[in-house]
A and B are shown apart, each in its own frame.
Chain A
């Protein structure tokens, strides 16, 4: 992320040392050689951001913070006060949609990965005026797909072109020079590279997120080394999302292991820090889903790091440890930690499914047996990481088909759609490890469905046609074509082949594409498709049958949806949407008229923190995955709090 620069570091260090950030102690001055200086001593924090995605210090000691949910760059002075703001929501010059990375060039120009607008924007060194933008959505030369990481050298801009699984290289004025990488797990291949950095020698280091490794390549893309694998052990990773080279050390934000790992440029682990938060939203050096780490320092070693935690809307600052001592050890969470209530939820036929992409796991709950009131009971899970059949790399959504006793799971990490048969033992409810049996798996790269320059389907959400209008109909949100695709999955009784040839798509080619579909829902009659478009900040509605027109809604202009995450429709046609940015639930009628809104940020009843999945249970009540609070809440259709379940420390405030 951060590029080596020749600057007057001594002056910057002095400026930092006098910075008056709240609750911050002055770090001990490093005296050891560069590789012996260890960061990790907590010095302070700064909260109140809206999903900070990246940060960088400028030469004057200002900290530029990119806020994805406010679509802006917030500039803090050396004392931590807001000095200025740059940007705003939109797709015009100087506006952003869900920006995910920023970097300063050697000449001071500011580069911002305007991820949702599929472009890079460049701003002037002094006044930060808009200079130019380059890139547009696609996979050809010069095109981008979810650019999410940046490194800028004296003459080139390296872009982690995440959706194209490659590193794209431009000159400083945005002319495409070259690119390297493609989808895969081999040398020089990537699965969703999220960040990139360059050392003094010109070697390139990539946070290869879904391969859970770091790759080192030369400037032309020739692979030199790779290290890491999925897991909690030292030197392993769980979705590394940020990488920064500074002062001889390579800092990796090991997001789902809740730690920072530091390597030399040959991959030797030097040290790590990042105790996992235990209490809700605990800070004081405890980390929770660190996305990025920005570092400054001198040739003598790094002097300070800021860890960007978008999940917690905050930054935490770390200085050198005393005399190069080891920082507080990064704990290994292993597989025993209780569920994080990670994302998408579905409920049908007395079953509730919950997907946890980070473990990766799919949990299934008995949602019908009434032995504890409204409490769903987790009786089984499938959780094996890998590329083999029955294993997951990144499951993102699941849906139950009670008529066929199947649980569908989409796994873009393996480019597959899996169907698991639910085979429950007779008798009283109990844990049943063999509840789910893989029935069939569809290779989405082998489907006869191709769209203009977008490659195979990469599923990000799914919904089932439970009404049977299309036999085995599965609707898949496809990140690559930015549309929803419906395919049949019912195996043909004669040939044994799945009926995968049939398909259709929304929106139609040439119409306004979805920006990021995070959840899907169908109306009770199956005639309407509702799509939660997170980056678009709205619900898109498409007629699945008939001649109706498509439309979208976001609520009142003065109180709109900001980051819709989950969506469901009840039997009467009412539409419920979770808004992760507003920490609440909005209820609409079938035509998008807002009927009610519930919730606010907090831990109490009807309080949420970044809620995500939502589903209608068989009894008509709603289950909401209160993701940021690691729990679920059950509400009536009128918004009355009924029940909370999940991790003990997180549910107690709502039980009292």
Chain B
């Protein structure tokens, strides 16, 4: 398997809303997603700072969304992605500050040269660590696949994609 992240040039610009006649108020800023509050821990007998636990996505592949606003981290099981065997993904979506983002996720795949996608629909559930578990994927033939992560917040969906070649 060969995986090649898609390289994108980004063009970002500020809003020119001052030219509009009736600008509604801007949307409220999104609060960063935080883990569930842990129960109060007893006072440690030794005054020593414990090292921060590594994030769950440490070591995962990183893919920037096509408009540049989401950093999608993902792993596959098994790895690498096999041909004609079911596989699963674990996905985390980070914002520009590296924090877990409160977003919705869709996952799909296609073979552009062949004009078709997968012959099954993956199941996606949220994980307790803020990521997503994606089951039921299958690349049923060799060739060049594109794996799509569609990240939605509000009215806007951005796509992150990677190329997967099964030889």
Contacts and interface: CB of A to CB of B under 8 A. Distances in A.
A468 B15 CA distance: 11
A437 B12 contact: no
B161 A491 contact: no
Interface stretch (A72-80, A139-147, A237-245, A500-508): A500-508
The B contact surface, by secondary structure, is loop
Nearest to A446: B155
Contact of B14 (A419, A434, A492, A503): A492
A488 B156 contact: no
A469 B156 contact: no
Contacts of B113: 433
Interface in A321-339: 335
Interface in B1-59: 6, 8-9, 11-17, 19-27, 29-30
A471 B13 contact: yes
Contacts of B69: 491, 496
B25 A501 contact: yes
Contacts of B70: 496
Contacts of A443: 152, 155-157
B22 A503 contact: yes
A164 B141 CA distance: 43
Interface stretch (A258-266, A278-286, A384-392, A535-543): A384-392
A contact residues, range = 35 or more
Given A383-B115, A389-B108, A496-B153, A440 B158 contact: yes
B133 interface: no
Contacts of B152: 443
Interface in A411-433: 419, 421, 423, 433
A238 to B, nearest CB: 16
Given A491-B67, A492-B14, A504-B22, A497 B153 contact: yes
B16 A469 contact: yes
The A contact surface, by secondary structure, is loop
Nearest to B163: A434
Interface centre among B16, B17, B25, B153, by most A CB within 10 Å?
B16
B106 A388 contact: yes
B122 to A, nearest CB: 11
A442 B117 CA distance: 22
A470 interface: yes
Contacts of A492: 14-15
A492 B21 CA distance: 20
B24 A442 contact: no
Contact of B23 (A405, A439, A502, A545): A502
Given A440-B66, A491-B69, A470 B20 contact: yes
A371 interface: no
Contact of B20 (A335, A384, A495, A503): A503
Given A404-B11, A421-B66, A423-B8, A502 B158 contact: no
Interface of A: 335, 383-384, 388-390, 403-405, 419, 421, 423, 433-434, 437-444, 446-448, 468-473, 486, 488, 490-504, 545
